[in-house]
Amino acid sequence: MLSKWLTIPFALAALVFLFLAWEQDYQYAIYIVPSVVCLAVIYALSPQIDWWWYQKHPPELDPRLRKLLSDHLPFYQQLPAEGKQRFRQRVALFMIANEFIPKGMDSVPEDVKGFLAASAVQLTFGMENFLFDRFERIVVYPGPFPSPQYPRWHASELFEEDGVLLFSADHLMHAVRSPQKYFHLGMYEYGRALSLCYPDLQLPAPPPDIWEQLEKVAPFTRNQLEKWIGLPQIDPQGVSLALFALFPVRFREILPDRYRQFVLALGFDPVQGIE
C-alpha cells in the first residue's frame, strides 16, 4: 500500500532526530515534530491515498478467480479482451473497497468475495462509478441465517439503516454454478441497492403486472423465489434487474420496453456479444 511506503522516510527521520536528541543535544527533539505530524496526516488519509494508488495501478485478480469468472459468468465470457480486463480490475478494486465480514466461519472464501463483487460490477459496468458506497459492509454466513430485522431463517438481506448486505454463501455459489436452477442473490440484493446508491438513475418503476411478466423470463415463480430467499414480499425491482443481467435475451423478448429503459439507465446492453 502506498500509504505505508510514504511513512518510511518520516519514521526514519523521527528516529534519527530522537537518537540525536538523546545522544547529543535535546534541542534536536524539536525536529521530531514535523515528522510526527506528517505520519499522523498520512495515517488519517491512508484510505484515500491507497484508493488513489489502486485506481492508478489496479491489481490483477488471482488466476483461480479469473478462471472461475471465465467458467461461470456469461457476461464476462462475451466481453472483448479490453472489456474483460476492465471487468477484472473493477472486481479487484471492489474487493479492496468493501469489508467482507464472516459469520459462522473463519473467513469469507475468495470465490464468494469475487462473485459478490462481480454481481455489483456487472450491474454498474456501463457507469463511471461502480461502487455501492452506502453498502460497504458485506456480511457472509455459510448458509441461511436469522437477523434482528428478520428473525426467520433467510438467505440474503439488505439492511439500509446500517448500510449492510447479508448473504448465504451456499445459496450464492449454488446460483453461480447452476443459474437455471437457483436464483442469484448477489444480483438481486445489488439490484435492490442500485437505486439507493444512485437515486438519479432513470430506472422505470415496476408495472402492476410485473410478476406475471417476470415469471415468463425466469425459470422461477414468485413463490419459488420467496421460498429460496426465505422472506415474503420480495422486491420486484431487484428481481427485474437481476433477471435483466442473468437472462438478458429472454428479458428483451418478454419486456422489450423495460429492457431498453434499463439499457439507457445503466449504460450497457448485456445482450451484445451473446447473440
pLDDT at 156: 98
**Does the pLDDT value for residue 70 go beyond 90?**
yes
Mean pLDDT of 122-135: 95
**Residue 275: pLDDT band with limits 50, 70, 90:** very low
Cα distance between residue 238 and residue 240, in whole Å: 5
CA distance 257 to 148: 39
pLDDT of residue 238: 97
Closest residue by Cα to residue 15 from 32, 30, 37: 32
Mean pLDDT of 40-62: 62
Identify the CA nearest to 2 among candidates 52, 44, 39.
52
210-265: pLDDT as tens digits: 999 999 999 999 999 999 999 988 999 999 999 999 999 999 999 999 999 999 99
Delineate the domains of the chain, giving CATH numbers in brackets: 2-56 (no CATH), 63-266 (3.40.390)
Is 50 or 136 the better-scoring residue by pLDDT?
A: 136
Q: What is the pLDDT of residue 217?
A: 96
The predicted-structure confidence for 75-117, as pLDDT tens digits, reads as follows 999 999 999 999 999 999 999 999 999 999 999 999 999 999 9
Residue tagged 473463519 (cell numbers): 106
pTM of the model: 0.83
- Taking only the tens place, the pLDDT of each residue in 176-203 is 999 999 999 999 999 999 999 999 999 9
Return d(Cα 22, Cα 273) in angstroms, integer. Answer: 69
Determine the pLDDT at residue 178. 96
